């Protein structure tokens, strides 16, 4: 995968490939990453990339010519790449989109500054707009880095153990289970007993239950519009049984549903 980021602050973006797992991915040649300075494509002597907005008002707009030239250059060095503008108006970036992008031959991530880029670029040289969330950044760089980071760790070979990506939060529509390491007791709090037991089946079940509980409490929206897997159903049924024990059979609507089904035979 080739990733080219167009920015007026290439050092800021290059910090991503100088550290940690993304650096290793570049060293392994799993990705080739480059931050291209848009200013290098400004034709005038002072390499100006911004100008005043037509119609007046405060703030500046990114001039289309340097960006267009930088984009054409990037397309030449990244065949088949998708050109993406970082923008609050874009499709909301998530793990499913990260997976989709990780299967492309290349990404060209365009970072605006100031009030944004001249709108004529959006309909033309840009394939798609992506947003990393409903808040306003001073530039697209942090958004591009978030996308490049999330995509890079999904490229085959980058994580080492591919199953690690399968266990990630969101990859199966749930948050991840809790994690613990030594010491066994920290500030009076012990690691859950089962994790020290060496009993793999029970550990797997604990992890699934932890994952479901954290999702249920923190992000119940993640359960909407997706099927409940059989192993998940087992745990939900166990919760239901415990709640019914606590509240009494008739007190829960679910108990009523079951009774009616029994009556229907």
Q: Which residues bind ligand 4HQ (CB under 6 A)?
A: 86-88, 112-113, 116, 131-133, 135-137, 139-140, 143
Interacting residues of 22 by C-beta distance below 8 A, sequence separation 6+: 16, 31, 33, 148, 149, 152, 153
Question: Residue 156 half-sphere exposure, CB side, CA atoms within 13 Å?
Answer: 3
Catalytic, 88? Answer yes
Are 84 and 3 in contact, with CB atoms under 8 Å apart? Answer: no
Which CB atom, from 82 or from 167, has the smaller least distance to ligand 4HQ? 82
Which of 50, 168, 209, 232 does the annotation list as catalytic?
168
Instruction: State the nearest-atom distance from the C-beta of 237 to ligand 4HQ, in Å.
Output: 41
**Least distance (Å) between residue 260 CB and ligand 4HQ:** 48
Pairing mode, if any, of strands 106-110 and 2-7? parallel
Q: Which of 37, 36, 33, 29 lies closest to 16, judged by CA?
A: 33
d(CA 165, CA 160): 10
Residue nearest to ligand 4HQ (CB): 143
Minimum gap (Å) between residue 60 Cβ and ligand 4HQ: 10
Catalytic-residue membership of 227: no
In whole angstroms, what is the distance from residue 224 CA to residue 190 CA?
34
Close Cβ partners of 34 (under 8 Å, ≥ 6 residues apart): 2, 3, 4, 5, 77
Q: Which of 82, 153, 214, 240 is catalytic?
A: 153
Pick the closer one to ligand 4HQ by CB: 50 or 209: 50
Which residue of the set 11, 103, 115, 193 is catalytic?
115
203 CB neighbour count, 10 Å cutoff: 16
| Residue 61 or 212 with smaller CB distance to ligand 4HQ | 61
CB of 168 to ligand 4HQ, least distance (A): 21
- Residue 168 falls in the annotated catalytic set: yes
The smaller minimum CB distance to ligand 4HQ, of residues 102 and 131, is found at 131
**Given the complex with ligand 4HQ, which of 74 and 158 has the nearer CB atom?**
74
Q: What is the dihedral of CA 25, 28, 32, 35, to 10 degrees?
A: 60
Q: Write down the least CB distance from residue 243 to ligand 4HQ, Å.
A: 40
Of 88, 128, 176, 205, which is the active-site residue? 88
Non-local (6+) Cβ contacts of 156 within 8 A are: 30, 162
Which residues are known to be catalytic? 88, 115, 153, 168
């Amino acid at each position: 995968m080739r990733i080219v980021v167009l920015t007026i602050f290439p050092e800021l973006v290059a910090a991503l490939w100088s550290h940690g797992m993304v650096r290793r991915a570049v060293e392994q040649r799993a990705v080739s990453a480059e931050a291209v300075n848009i200013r290098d494509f400004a034709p005038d002597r002072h390499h100006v990339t911004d100008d005043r907005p037509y119609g007046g008002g405060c703030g500046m707009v990114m001039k289309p010519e340097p960006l267009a030239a930088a984009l054409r250059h990037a397309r030449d060095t990244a065949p088949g790449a998708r050109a993406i503008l970082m923008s609050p108006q874009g499709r909301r970036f998530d793990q499913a989109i990260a997976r989709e992008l990780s299967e492309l031959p290349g990404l060209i991530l365009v970072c605006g500054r100031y009030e944004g880029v001249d709108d004529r670029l959006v309909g033309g040289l840009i394939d798609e707009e992506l947003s990393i969330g409903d808040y306003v950044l001073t530039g697209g760089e942090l958004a591009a880095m978030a996308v490049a980071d999330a995509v890079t760790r999904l490229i085959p070979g980058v994580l080492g153990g591919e199953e690690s990506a399968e266990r990630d939060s969101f990859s199966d529509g749930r948050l991840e289970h809790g994690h613990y390491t030594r010491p066994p007791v920290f500030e009076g709090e012990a690691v859950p007993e089962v994790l020290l037991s060496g009993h793999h089946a029970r550990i797997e079940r604990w992890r699934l239950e932890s994952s479901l509980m954290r999702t249920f409490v923190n992000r119940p929206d993640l359960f909407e519009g997706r099927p409940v897997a059989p192993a998940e159903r087992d745990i939900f049924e166990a919760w239901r049984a415990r709640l019914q024990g606590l509240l009494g059979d008739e007190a829960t609507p679910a108990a009523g549903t079951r009774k009616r089904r029994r009556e229907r035979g």
